[in-house]
A and B are shown apart, each in its own frame.
Chain A
Amino acid sequence: MTDLSLTDRLASSPLLAALDAESRDALLPHFTAAPFTQGERLVTAGSTDRDLMVVVDGNVNVFTRDGDLRYRLATLGPGDMIGEVAFFDPQSYRTADVVAATDGVVATLSPDAYIDLRRRAHPAASSLETQVVRLLVGRLQSADTLLATLLDDHRSGRLALSIAGLFGAASTGSTP
């Protein structure tokens, strides 16, 4: 990455900011920045690509699938991480569609770079793993609390209002 501001923004993401300087300096050169345009699909559910991605600029929508239907589960912005499961587990598939909500930039890390660091027992590999664990446990706590609250609302008949209030209606615009 040659754009200093993009590098600074990536370095300040929750994934990398918490790392020690040696680990961050070892990982940053392996990220590749690429622009995306509104409506572009970054990730397809069921695919086997394995890059780890960090949104550097702009926003993307994450859709979960239910058969032939999908629902917009979240909107991610600068600093947010995508694709950690496939990155660390070569047996898995992508489990969600990720579509650009705006124009922006995403930085990608190939698993090959991480595997090379791991083979050399470089501290950056373990630092990356540890930070991903921390980020995921935080997200799991939030998701479980939200789900419990929504199930409360389901019983009380307030679910539609709650989901609409949290996420809004699913996008009905053209999507790739």
Chain B
Amino acid sequence: MRREEIARILQSLPGLQDVAPRLLQAMAGHFTREVVHGQPLCREGDEADNLYVLTAGQLDVYKRSEQGNDRLVAHLYPVTLVGTVAVVTGGRRTATVMAPTWAELLVMPAAAVRDLLETWDFEVASPLRRAIIVATAGQLGQANRTIGALAVELGLAEVAPGPLTHDLAAAARPAEQPTTPADPDAVEQALLKARAGL
């Protein structure tokens, strides 16, 4: 993939839209392109080696429950940052990320990310931090919405007062609502797909 194309992809990330083209080009030089197919990108507990940008395909995020089971907690769709938590904190991976079929990624070594955040021109470091904030908050929002959807399913929700100024929920509803599925997998998939659109 050409550097200009990578720079264009980076510019589409929330937080990076106002970065000068020359700086995006410089950042793009640190990324390589990878395609993964039906394999884990990283496993919970591993050392964080890379930061990723998902540019095509889908990734599934699994988290270990308190009972020790790996549960699917999120779907990720392009274009989004992936693997920010461990890269930023310097700790180990906090979730397992799998490509269920195939996915195309831009890959930047974690050391280069930390170097960029700590020593690069403020013009680049600040937008990258903002991009990480937006991506992390988006995944947090997705987790919270799924938890809320579980509560709605249980009849614990109340009627929301007033219409939404922007119908955030409409984009999240699946085209066909599942009919009281008994299979937990189907319920989880429906819930996660419904929330991943936001």
Minimum Cβ distance to chain A for residue B152 (Å):
5
By a CB distance below 8 angstroms, the chain B residues around A75 are: none
State A60–B137 Cα separation when bound (angstroms). Answer: 19
The answer to whether B156 touches A71, judged by C-beta atoms less than 8 angstroms apart, is yes
The answer to whether B66 touches A140, judged by C-beta atoms less than 8 angstroms apart, is no
The answer to whether B156 touches A163, judged by C-beta atoms less than 8 angstroms apart, is yes
Residue B22 CB within 8 A of the other chain: no
* Best-buried of A48, A91, A137, A175 by chain B (most CB within 10 Å): A137
Residue A92 CB within 8 A of the other chain: yes
By a CB distance below 8 angstroms, the chain B residues around A150 are: 147, 150
State A54–B38 Cα separation when bound (angstroms). Answer: 43
Q: Which residue of chain B lies nearest to A47 when distances are taken between CB atoms in the complex?
A: B165
Which of A12-20, A21-29, A102-110, A166-174 lies at the interface with chain B?
A166-174
The answer to whether A159 touches B154, judged by C-beta atoms less than 8 angstroms apart, is yes
* Residues of B in contact, count (CB < 8 Å): 66
* Best-buried of A69, A96, A139 by chain B (most CB within 10 Å): A69
* Residues of A in contact, count (CB < 8 Å): 63
State A35–B146 Cα separation when bound (angstroms). Answer: 32
Selected contact of B71 from candidates A134, A140, A152, A164, CB within 8 Å: A152
State A164–B150 Cα separation when bound (angstroms). Answer: 11
By a CB distance below 8 angstroms, the chain A residues around B71 are: 147-148, 151-152
Minimum Cβ distance to chain B for residue A17 (Å):
18
The answer to whether A130 touches B95, judged by C-beta atoms less than 8 angstroms apart, is no
The answer to whether B148 touches A64, judged by C-beta atoms less than 8 angstroms apart, is yes
Selected contact of B159 from candidates A46, A68, A141, A155, CB within 8 Å: A68
The answer to whether A152 touches B147, judged by C-beta atoms less than 8 angstroms apart, is no
Selected contact of A154 from candidates B63, B145, B150, CB within 8 Å: B150
State A123–B106 Cα separation when bound (angstroms). Answer: 30
Known: A88-B134, A137-B89, A144-B95. A65 touches B156 (CB 8 A): no
Minimum Cβ distance to chain A for residue B185 (Å):
9
Residue A3 CB within 8 A of the other chain: no
Within 8 A of B (CB), among A113-133: 118, 121, 125-126, 129-130, 132-133
Q: Which residues of A line the B interface, CB within 8 A?
A: 44-48, 63-73, 84-85, 88-89, 91-93, 95-97, 118, 121, 125-126, 129-130, 132-134, 136-137, 139-141, 143-152, 154-155, 159-160, 163-164, 167, 169-172, 175-176
16 further contact pairs, Cβ within 8 A, besides A46-B165, A118-B126, A144-B63: A64-B144, A67-B169, A70-B159, A70-B160, A73-B147, A88-B15, A95-B168, A129-B129, A143-B143, A145-B63, A145-B64, A148-B63, A152-B71, A160-B154, A163-B154, A175-B158
Q: Which residues of B line the A interface, CB within 8 A?
A: 14-15, 61-67, 69-74, 84-85, 88-89, 94-95, 117, 122, 125-126, 129-130, 132-134, 136-141, 143-152, 154, 156-162, 164-170, 173, 184, 187-188, 198
9 pairs of A and B residues whose beta carbons are closest in the complex: A64-B148, A148-B65, A46-B165, A46-B164, A70-B160, A69-B157, A148-B71, A148-B63, A129-B129
